Amino acid sequence: MISFDVDEKLAQQLERVRTLGREFLRPLGIEADRKGEAIPADHPFFETAWRLGIGRLGPEEDEEERPRSGERTAARRGVVLGEELAYWDRGAAVALPGPGLGAPPIRRMGTPEQRERFFAPFRDPSRPRWGAFAMTEPGAGSDVAAIRTLARKEGDAWVLDGAKTFISNAIRAEWIVVWATVDPSAGRAGHRAFVVEKGTPGLEDMRAEHKMGLVAYESASFTLRHCRVPAENLLGGERYYESRAGFKGAMESFNATRPMVAAMAVGIARAAYDAAREFAREHFLLSRPLPRHRRVAEKLARMARKIEAARLLCWRAASLADAERPNQVEASMAKAFAPAIAQEAAGLAVEVMAEAGVRQDHYVEKLYRDVKAMDIVEGTGQIQRIVVARRLLGYPASG
């Protein structure tokens, strides 16, 4: 059973996000896009956000993630707030401080000591901090099973060699959760996750990539060159990786985050729909039986219908995650469907607005460039369709 109830606490959080989005996220996202530069880490907005507790972890945070009693709601809360943040500006939302996508693997795989150690900086109110998650590689893209960053044990440390690309907020991160393999021929059994801390020798060549959209946050590439990581930074410790748990941990992390990323695509689609609807209200009398007006009305109806369907898929996947039930198929369905309909919605919005839709003084032009990345990040739509097909046909998750 999927619950669509928004309780009082979530309603208050949504209202705060709307205020934050209207007053800061959208203006900052537009400014970053105009300049062609990410919002700098020392921007006063991040200090303000951190003081307000945005991205900062509190003692109650772990209880919310795994309550002692009652129903888990973290995943559903994530898709609701993720959609709203992306509605105002997905790029500026990703730039917000906090552990980001690095948090789920630390929560799910880390030992109590590791959770305390690596989350401690995010409870410090003195200044904003970021975390990062590094899976994507230049030669492997979204194919988790094909990663080639090597890890080998040397004495009391692990040595990493490889390269990662398009890693959000990596340049400003306190630590990066890096995925590597101890043996590429071992497939999923060879996967390991390490926390590589800022300043670790061998964490090199950090550089920001130039993107067509979502400019407000940095997407970085870097090299791991004989990067020596303490043994205690192996997430979960060596015993965790018995029974091929490394790959399982990676997939559980994705199954937790993909519904939220899909919901962010819904947020972009909703922003495009609202812009097109307002433009149509101002420029067309849709009640008149003119062929052009009928086409505009049909496009708006198509956008609204698909946005609602995508939102339901996200909620279904998140509800299963909160119930601690398998959700790989549902998470992949949401991730495959939502970005595709968001691209369609942005394209239809441009069509409704005609020449105004491609002008840089209209937000829809920016959305049209922003939305493509949503099909790529956290596993491409193509990968998600393969995941769904393999499960429907009864094949293992990966060969």
Which residues are marked as active site? Answer: 378
Phi (first) and psi of residue 278, to 5 degrees: -65, -40
**Which phi and psi (to 5°) does residue 55 adopt?**
85, -20
**C-beta separation of 362 from 355 below 8 A:** no
Strand partners, 268: none
CA–CA gap between residue 372 and residue 87 (Å, rounded): 15
Place of tokens 């959209």: 213
Element (H, E) at 152: strand 150-154
Q: Please name the residue ranges forming H helices in 244-327.
A: 245-283, 291-322
The answer to whether 142 and 383 have CB atoms below 8 angstroms apart is yes
Selection from 371, 318, 339, 328 nearest residue 262 by Cα: 339
Task: Provide the token pair at 230.
Answer: 């303490």
Cβ atoms within 10 A of the Cβ of 230, count?
A: 13
Burial class (CB in 10 A: 0-12, 13-18, 19+), 289: exposed
Which H helix or E strand runs over 389? helix 381-392
Q: Residue 218's closest CA among 27, 25, 41?
A: 41
Residue 255 CA to residue 326 CA, distance in Å, equals: 9
Residue 303 contacts residue 345 (beta carbons within 8 Å)? yes
Task: Note whether 132 and 176 are within 8 A (CB).
Answer: yes
Whole-Å CA distances, 122 to 95, 184, 194: 15, 34, 18
φ and ψ of 352, to 5 deg: -60, -40
Q: Residues 321, 327, 328, 331: is their CA dihedral positive or negative? A: negative
